Amino acid sequence: MEEEKILESITNNISSRLKVPIIITYLCVLLIFNWDILYYLLLENDDPANKIDCIKSTYSELYYTRIFHCIIISITLIILFTVINTLLNFCLKWFYKKDKEITTEVENYEKINVLSSQLSQSVTEIKNLKKQIENLKNINESLSSRDLDIDISKISEKDYNDLISLIVLQNNSEKLRFSLKELIGFLKEEPDLETHIIYNKATYSDDMSALIGHLKNSNLIKFKNTLYNSARGQYNQKLELSQSFKDILTMNLS
């Protein structure tokens, strides 16, 4: 704003000096062009009547040239001053425009540097926030996993207690409890043991079969068949353990 005011004051000053009224310009040119007549009137020692007669006799035939020449010169000067004034204004405006463009470029460059710095800081903050979010996710998953383990353990323990309550109600409860311990021991040694091998190894095969039936009804185990003779379509039967029964295998049972 200060530079603009300075340029405007310079322009106005030049314009005020160059924009001379046409009458004043004409009078100045007229006095300068007819300096000899003025000099004779003012500085020569002679009678005024004689001076007037001398001027009439000397310049009477040329008076119109002295008047019209001054008019032409005045118009020429005014046109010339106007052209010079216009050119100066144009140059000043051009310099001002260039200066403004340069100033704008410098300001834009500074703004770009500031924005780049802010963007870099924002990217760093975003990375830090992502790391914090990942850490929070890991902590949350860890806590959820612990809670899940506790819930599963409690569910498995409840399923085991329900199984024992069911066995106690049976007439052959003692043999069933013994068969349960045997089955747990067999499956700890070999989880993929086939059912016919379990029955053959069991002390009480009938009670073992009844126990496996109770486990199946309690949804603690399922049967799965594996093909071992494709020509004859023969299958081996194995036990598919539920998560609760897998947990029962890891329990310290008395």
* Residues whose CB is less than 8 angstroms from the CB of residue 146 and which lie 6 or more positions away in sequence, other chains included: none
Domain that includes residue 113, residue range: 2-121
| pLDDT given for residue 149 in this prediction | 47
Stretch 65-86: mean pLDDT, rounded? 77
- CATH code for the domain of 210: 1.10.10.10
Q: Give tens-digit pLDDT for 176-208.
A: 889 888 888 888 888 888 888 888 888 888 888
10-34: string of b/e by CB count within 10 Å (b at 16+)?
A: ebeeeeeebeeeeeebbeebbeebb
Q: Note the maximum CA span of the chain.
A: 172
The secondary structure of 42-102 as a DSSP string is HHS-S-HHHHHHHHHHHHTTTHHHHHHHHHHHHHHHHHHHHHHHHHHHHHHHHHHHHHHHH
Q: How far apart are CA 218 and CA 163, in angstroms?
A: 8
Residues 53 and 114 in one domain: yes
Residues 179 and 73 in one domain: no
Let me know whether 80 and 6 are in one domain.
yes
Buried b (16+ CB within 10 A) or exposed e, 180-194: bebbbebbeeeeeee
**Which tokens go with 105?**
């470029």
Is residue 50 domain-resident? yes
Q: Phi and psi dihedrals of 226, rounded to 5? A: -120, 130
Residue range 109-151, pLDDT digits in tens: 888 888 888 888 888 888 888 888 888 887 766 655 454 444 5
CA proximity to 214, closest of 178, 170, 156: 170
Assigned domain for 165 exists: no
